[in-house]
DNA sequence: AGAAAAGATGTTACTTTGTATCGTTTATTC
DNA sequence: GAATAAACGATACAAAGTAACATCTTTTCT
């Protein structure tokens, strides 16, 4: 099972997460000749501010209030950056929260699911063959051909358990 | 595996689905001393008009335009009915679509997931122990304690496959 | 039966999330 | 360097969901 749960749910040097994510994003965009423009990078950095999913308008507010950005930023600008980052697989959308979170393993194709802590909000991403197989097998019994899946698990993370 | 996929994706006498759902709803609400009021029943019937998930405002429009309802119905009225039906387990919400669908097996506790056809929109509900176990097991490896899950699979239903 | 409490609905106004559109700017291509 | 494509700024709007309050209905208690 591929997961960032060991990091996401525990004390760690989060600057390294941010740096790694930004570096990897540049690499991938370079390789794909996709343009990681300043706003797109700012949005990505804002989303990576923590391991908690961030709403689009929270991103708008964060960026508008930050020192670095001279002027206010408008929703369509942020949504366009979000769309780009989704297309590049650099972030994911959590449907059950209407929020966005950075992908810890972009590039490597993975069919992922999310563990969302209802206490602290921290969210880990996982990729597990057994879950995939179970879903595809169950769908197959209904003669249903799987294209994509949304799997979002809500519960209590190791740090928040008594 | 418990599922209504045999029915939902194929020609069938859908009036029986509707009748069964309404009957079962009355039974359950009676047993629980919950009040299945006229609006609540109308909303349930409207959602059960097909096996395709229906948005809240589509429900508002359907009911407002129907002969039977004298006057226009407002969003909060519908949302309150939706909340009641969700609480009673008579319908489910599909987060990835912002839409609602009738539950084919209310009463029996089931941890369910959905197979959403991207062609025709028809959606089946499934409940499968292997999927449950795979998810709980994967979460367990991250020391994550599962409370609830959102599993929505998008793909092609048997009828829509070439 | 009648009063009081609880539950449900009607209505207005509002919040949150996400887009269509159009004009302008910046980068790429020829 | 002109033409084309891509990205951004800004306004306005659509879609999904809710807060608040008045009114009406049902249930409960005396
Ligand atoms: Zn981190
Ligand atoms: Zn937690
Ligand atoms: Zn049916
Ligand atoms: Zn179909």
pLDDT digits (tens, 9 = 90+) for B61-93: 999 988 665 678 999 999 999 999 999 999 999
Cα three-residue angle A61-A66-A68, rounded to 5 degrees: 135
d(CA B153, CA B151): 7
- A123-132 pLDDT, tens per residue? 999 999 999 9
d(CA A1, CA A120): 23
Query: Mutate which of A118, A120, A144, A145 to test chain B, going by most B C-beta atoms within 10 A?
Result: A144
pLDDT band at A70 (very low <50, low <70, confident <90, very high): low
**Measuring CA to CA, how many Å separate A159 from each of A5, A118, A121?**
11, 12, 11
Cα three-residue angle A147-A152-A153, rounded to 5 degrees: 140
pTM passes above 0.75? yes
**D25 closest protein residue (CA to C1'):** B37
Q: Which residue has the higher pLDDT, B66 or B99?
A: B99
pLDDT, mean of residues A61-90: 91
What CATH number corresponds to the domain at position B40?
Answer: 1.10.10.10
Residue A142 region by backbone torsions, left for phi larger than 0, else alpha for psi between -120 and 50, else beta: alpha
Overall number of domains in chain A: 1
Q: What is the Rg, in whole angstroms, of the alpha carbon atoms belonging to chain B?
A: 17
Q: Which helix (H) or strand (E) holds A116?
A: strand A113-117
Which domain range does residue A116 map to? Answer: 2-160
Sequence-distant (≥ 6) Cβ neighbours of residue A147 within 8 angstroms: B118, B154, B155, B156
Ligand nearest to C-alpha A51: 1
- A1-38 pLDDT, tens per residue? 899 999 999 999 999 999 999 999 999 999 999 999 99
How many Å does it take to go from CA A101 to C1' C25? 30
DSSP category for residue B84: H
Looking at the DSSP bridge assignments, the partners of residue A151 are: B151
């Amino acid at each position: 099972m591929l997961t960032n749960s060991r990091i996401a749910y525990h004390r760690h040097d989060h600057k390294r997460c941010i740096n790694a994510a930004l570096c990897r994003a540049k690499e991938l965009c370079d390789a794909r000749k996709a343009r990681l423009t300043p706003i797109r990078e700012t949005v990505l950095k804002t989303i990576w501010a923590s391991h908690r999913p961030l709403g689009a308008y929270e991103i708008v507010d964060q960026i508008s209030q930050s020192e670095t950005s001279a002027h206010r930023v408008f929703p369509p600008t942020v949504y366009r950056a979000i769309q780009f980052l989704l297309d590049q697989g650099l972030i994911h959308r959590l449907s059950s929260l209407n929020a966005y979170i950075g992908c810890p393993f972009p590039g490597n194709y993975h069919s992922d699911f999310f563990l969302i802590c209802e206490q602290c909000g921290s969210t880990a991403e996982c990729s597990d063959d057994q879950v995939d197989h179970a879903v595809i097998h169950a769908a197959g019994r209904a003669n249903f051909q799987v294209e994509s899946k949304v799997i979002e698990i809500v519960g209590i993370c190791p740090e928040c358990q008594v």
